[in-house]
Amino acid sequence: MKTSARNQFSGEVTSIKSGAVNDEVTLKIGSAFVVAVITQESTKSLGLAVGKTASALIKASSVIVMVDTDPAKVSARNVFAGTVAHVKEGAVNSEVTISAAGLNIAAIITNDSATRLGLAPGKPASAVVKASSVILAVD
């Protein structure tokens, strides 16, 4: 599978909570858990079920980078606390890679934000992703 999403993680579906319109699907990827909210129709058309393999796709522009994060005080379902592995500065934006729970999560943020947050390799930081920003795929 080739996509333009910088973050592509394959894992096992560990739970599906059905709602009136949307389902909350949790994938276990290594030691991390990724939560996605998708429509029930998508859950059915992808054939998702506990124990099946699926991939989580997350655009780097959908990743919020935080420092000094208390996951209990963030409404996003996916908070990956780790350390900055790499910062690549561009003309306007920076690509920041955060290593957390065995995942390398790429984020695109403004250079101003990278400077304001003091991001540098080895600094503690978290990648934050709303469950509605996670796209699920199957082979």
Q: What is the 3-state secondary structure (H, E, C) of 16-57?
A: EEECCCEEEEEEEECCEEEEEEEEHHHHHHHCCCCCCEEEEE
Mean pLDDT rounded to a whole number for the chain: 96
- Provide the residue range defining the domain that includes 89: 60-129
pTM for the model: 0.94
Task: Please give the pLDDT value at position 71.
Answer: 84
Predicted confidence (pLDDT) per residue in 57-101, tens digit: 999 999 999 999 788 899 999 999 999 999 999 999 999 999 999
Classify residue 1: in a domain, yes or no.
no
pLDDT digits (tens, 9 = 90+) for 24-33: 999 999 999 9
Residue 2 covered by a domain: no
Statement to judge: residues 124 and 81 lie in one domain: yes
